[in-house]
């Protein structure tokens, strides 16, 4: 029976387990992921506190300043395959540490920017690439340390983003009043350098299953006779692999045709030889980016779900305050609505992790229910006409957003999508596809608002995208079930073609041909 046992090695060496530990050093990884979330997505969502200062300093419009974050998010998601390749080549620890350096470098350099174009390069490109290299490898290796608790641990650890919005926004605002926006941005960049410390905690994990190989019992004389008698199988592959030497000399093959090893060496000797033979075999080369996931129909449907669902992730946080102001709600009350949405998102993430942690449960269906309810929340916003109506919609949306945002990437590790073995490559391709919606979504909503002069149109467009996402998500499980059925049917057909139809008395005839050669020849 396999046991969870970590091999004691130096701090920089990988953790070796006989099966997924569901804890152990994984708790340290979860702790690191909490702060990586806070220092990546938490900072991105809190960057709005600099908008007015940047518009005044650079004398630019709100639209041109907003492109800083748009470029940053696009680079972060577009370079996801690069993050996967580098992680598979150099390891998750090195990539995350390098990402932390890039994020800090971009932010610190941006504090000395003289034009908005400088911001596009420093924060948009340099920090955006760092965000990708820091976030994706961390969530990937966290999923490898957990199995049964994966959904719950990932959901709880991802709340670092929500807590960061609470703390960073007011803290940065207060700091700006004391030292100005440039030094405040410089301080944020220095703080983000702590991602390097989080990355150093990401020890890789290796799962090595211990297999017990049992020696073939000598109580099977017919099979042994056949191996010894058949001229083409005198050196049996089975006997070579098991480490048992069987010879065909007359001294070793008595009249009863039972073959025995030369010395009495039981199972222990066989197991040692197997381990030694396996250790000499070359290990299969790891693919830097496995594009075979693109041939998986279930993954394709899941990727389209992510593409359209991303359209609905950004609208409320961008347009809830303008929508509330257009309804005559004060700025202070509008800020309360946004804060309530963030608080509800925390509870949504934790609740989703708790529900998905239950066994047995089909997680893909729970995700589908959450996406449908998220679509309902988006459709409800335009019907709110006063403060409490918007507050109710925001809380409902925030809760449902937390259930989806905290689980849609970890669900790639489930067998209904691609499985844990291909999660690293699948996550890179999945986030890359999301980048298309992340880049096109805000301009699309802006065009609709400018055309209709109504903020409700932005919510309608995002709700329509979420509905399309729900349609593709509902197809994931049927596509996976159909693919598995076809593979099983193909395997059965192949086996039927390979295995020849042998007569029932084939072995008996071959064994007894010395005694009954005439009868055997007639039968053949």
423's enclosing H/E stretch is helix 423-452
Q: Compute the distance between CA of residue 487 and CA of residue 159 in angstroms, rounded to an integer.
A: 39
Output the CA torsion sign for 154, 156, 157, 159. positive
Distance of CA 327 to the CA centre of its chain: 41
Is there a common fold for 15-209 and 289-496?
Answer: yes
Residue holding tokens 């609709």?
448
Strands (E), 37-138: none
Tokens of 51: 């908008």
What is residue 414's predicted lDDT score, i.e. its pLDDT? 77
Angle between helices 128-145 and 26-46 (to 10 degrees): 150
What is residue 266's predicted lDDT score, i.e. its pLDDT? 45
Strands (E), 256-304: none
Q: 333, 301, 445: which is closest to 378 by C-alpha? A: 445
How many CB atoms are located within 10 Å of the residue 224 CB? Answer: 21
Contact predicate 505/226, CB 8 Å: no
Q: Compute the distance between CA of residue 112 and CA of residue 91 in angstroms, rounded to an integer.
A: 33
Q: Compute the distance between CA of residue 128 and CA of residue 136 in angstroms, rounded to an integer.
A: 12
Question: Domain 15-209 carries which CATH code?
Answer: 1.20.1250.20
Please provide the DSSP assignment of 115-128 as one string. Answer: SHHHHIIIIIIIIH
What is residue 233's predicted lDDT score, i.e. its pLDDT? 44
pLDDT in tens, the chain (524 residues): 444 444 444 455 666 776 777 778 889 999 999 999 999 988 888 887 787 788 888 888 766 787 888 888 888 888 888 888 898 888 889 999 999 999 999 999 999 999 999 999 999 999 999 998 998 888 888 888 887 777 788 888 888 888 887 788 778 888 888 898 999 999 999 999 999 999 998 888 777 765 544 445 555 554 444 444 444 444 443 434 434 344 444 444 444 444 444 444 444 443 433 444 444 444 445 565 666 777 788 888 888 998 888 877 766 777 777 788 788 887 667 767 777 888 888 888 888 878 877 766 778 888 899 999 999 999 998 888 888 988 999 899 989 988 888 778 778 877 778 877 777 778 778 878 887 777 777 777 777 877 888 888 888 888 888 999 999 989 988 887 765 555 556 555 655 555 555 555 544 554 455 455 545 445 44
Q: Which CATH fold topology does 289-496 show?
A: Growth Hormone; Chain: A; (1.20.1250)
What is residue 127's predicted lDDT score, i.e. its pLDDT? 94
Q: Compute the distance between CA of residue 74 and CA of residue 511 in angstroms, rounded to an integer.
A: 72
Every domain of the chain and the residues it spans = 15-209, 289-496
Contact predicate 350/159, CB 8 Å: yes
Contact predicate 126/105, CB 8 Å: yes
| Residues near 418 by beta carbon (within 8 Å), at least 6 away in sequence | 293, 296, 298, 299, 412, 426
What is residue 258's predicted lDDT score, i.e. its pLDDT? 44
What is residue 492's predicted lDDT score, i.e. its pLDDT? 59
Tokens of 195: 């991602």
Q: pTM of the entire structure? A: 0.63
CA distances from 462 to 389, 390, 467, 512 (A): 19, 17, 9, 78
How many CB atoms are located within 10 Å of the residue 445 CB? Answer: 23
The Cβ-side half-sphere exposure at 273, using a 13 Å CA radius, reads: 15
Q: Compute the distance between CA of residue 246 and CA of residue 259 in angstroms, rounded to an integer.
A: 7
Q: 47, 38, 345: which is closest to 192 by C-alpha? A: 38
Q: Coil, strand, or helix at residue 499?
A: coil
- Rg (alpha carbons) of the chain, rounded to whole number: 31
């Amino acid at each position: 029976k396999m046991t969870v046992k970590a091999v004691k090695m130096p701090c920089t060496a990988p953790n070796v387990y006989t099966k997924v530990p569901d804890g152990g050093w994984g708790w340290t990884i979860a702790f690191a992921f909490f702060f990586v979330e806070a220092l990546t997505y938490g900072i991105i969502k809190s960057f709005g506190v600099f908008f007015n200062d940047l518009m005044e300093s650079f004398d630019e419009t709100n639209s041109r300043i907003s492109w800083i974050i748009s470029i940053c998010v696009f680079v972060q998601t577009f370079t996801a395959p690069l993050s996967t390749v580098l992680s598979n080549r150099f390891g998750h620890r090195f990539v995350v540490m390098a990402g932390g350096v890039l994020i800090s470098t971009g932010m610190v350099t941006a504090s000395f920017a003289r034009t908005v174009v400088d911001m596009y390069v420093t924060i948009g490109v340099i920090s955006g690439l760092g965000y990708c290299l820091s976030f994706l490898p961390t969530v990937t290796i966290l999923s490898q340390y957990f199995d049964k608790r994966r959904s719950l641990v990932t959901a709880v650890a991802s709340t670092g983003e929500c807590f960061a919005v609470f703390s960073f926004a007011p803290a940065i605002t207060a700091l700006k009043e004391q030292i100005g926006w440039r030094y405040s941005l410089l301080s944020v960049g220095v703080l983000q350098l702590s991602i390097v410390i989080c990355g150093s905690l990401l020890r890789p994990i290796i799962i090595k299953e211990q297999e017990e190989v049992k020696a073939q019992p000598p109580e099977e004389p017919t099979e042994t006779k056949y191996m010894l008698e058949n001229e083409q199988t005198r050196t049996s592959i089975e006997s070579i692999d098991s480490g048992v030497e069987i010879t065909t000399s007359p001294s070793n093959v008595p009249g009863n045709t039972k073959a025995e090893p030369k010395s009495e060496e039981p199972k222990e000797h066989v197991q040692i030889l197997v381990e030694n033979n396996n250790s000499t075999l070359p290990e299969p080369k790891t693919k830097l980016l496995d594009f075979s996931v693109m041939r998986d129909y279930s993954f394709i449907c899941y990727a389209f779900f992510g593409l359209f669902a991303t359209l609905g992730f950004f609208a409320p946080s961008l347009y809830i305050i303008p929508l509330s102001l257009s309804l005559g709600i004060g700025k202070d009350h509008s800020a309360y609505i946004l804060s309530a949405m963030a608080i509800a998102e925390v509870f949504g993430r934790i609740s989703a992790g708790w529900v998905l942690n239950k066994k047995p449960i089909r997680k893909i269906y729970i995700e589908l229910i959450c996406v449908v309810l998220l679509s309902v929340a988006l459709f409800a916003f335009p019907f709110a006409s006063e403060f409490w109506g918007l507050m109710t919609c925001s809380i409902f949306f925030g809760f449902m957003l937390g259930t989806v945002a905290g689980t849609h990437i970890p669900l790639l590790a489930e067998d209904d999508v691609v499985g844990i073995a291909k999660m690293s490559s699948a996550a890179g391709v999945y986030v890359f596809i999301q980048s298309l919606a992340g880049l096109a979504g805000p301009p699309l909503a802006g065009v609709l608002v400018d055309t209709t002069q109504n903020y409700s149109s932005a919510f309608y467009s995002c709700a329509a995208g979420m509905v399309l996402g729900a349609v593709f998500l509902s197809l994931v499980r049927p596509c996976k079930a159909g693919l598995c059925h076809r593979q099983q049917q193909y395997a059965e057909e192949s086996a039927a073609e390979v295995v020849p139809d042998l007569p029932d008395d084939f072995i008996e005839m071959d064994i007894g041909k010395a005694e009954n050669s005439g009868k055997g020849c007639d039968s053949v």
